Structure 1
Amino acid sequence: MNKSELIDAIAADAGISKGAAKKALESFVDHVSGALNKGGRVSLVGFGSFSVSNRAAREGRNPQTGDSIKIAAKNVVKFKPGAELDAHVNTK
């Protein structure tokens, strides 16, 4: 499912226009991004939790040449699925 398909599904389920569904989705993404940018955590009970983790600088290898390279430290977004989402995905 891509972004436009998700917008269509939200609009149909909620009985709202596609424009309103697009604004709602963009607002959700903006607020989650903003909270994570500030180092916070976003928890949606049953769905999952978004958090930020720091990945330390490390040394790696260029696979083509075998030379050592330095990989810079960076923040990465983590997602841990909630119990309901996990159960829903794993039902047969």
Structure 2
Amino acid sequence: MSKPMTKTQLVAAVAEAMGSDKKTATAALDAIAAVVSKEVGDGGTVTLPGLGKVSCRARPERQVRNPATGETMTKAADKTVKFSIAKALKDLVNG
């Protein structure tokens, strides 16, 4: 298994794919991250074409267990971020 791509490598790859410089590619990636963060933070959903969908899901109050002590406690309701992979990407990975 290969090492994960770093932000520097991603910026370089995006700049090359766009035929642009690294400064423009960095600004584009930062803008996408900011828009997705704001929308999902507000409880919305963002579809990234060809990649998948980022959404915010509410989780209800539930019983959890402390593995160290075995004590059962109630965890308050909270929100979590979910990423659903696009079918096209899933098919590409699975050949």
Both structures adopt the same fold (TM-score exceeding 0.5): yes
Q: Distance in 2 between matches of 1:45 and 1:16?
A: 21
Q: Which runs of 5+ in 1 are unaligned?
A: none
Q: TM-score, normalised by structure 1?
A: 0.86
Is residue 39 of structure 1 aligned with residue 46 of structure 2? no
Aligned twin of 2:20: 16
Q: Equivalent residue of 1:16, what SS?
A: coil
What fraction of aligned residue pairs are identical, expressed as a percent?
Answer: 37
Which of 57, 61, 67 is the matching residue for 1:57?
61
How big is each residue's C-alpha offset from its partner over 1:23-70, in whole Å with a ceiling of 9 and x where there is no partner?
110100000111112221112333211111101122211111112233
List structure 1 runs of 4+ shifted beyond 6 angstroms: none
Counterpart amino acid of residue 5 in structure 1 = Q
Summarize the alignment of residues 22-33 of structure 1 with structure 2, pairs less than 5 Å apart.
Answer: 22-33=26-37
Letter in 1 for 2:77: A
RMSD: 1.4
Mind listing any 5+ residue stretches in structure 2 that lack a counterpart? none
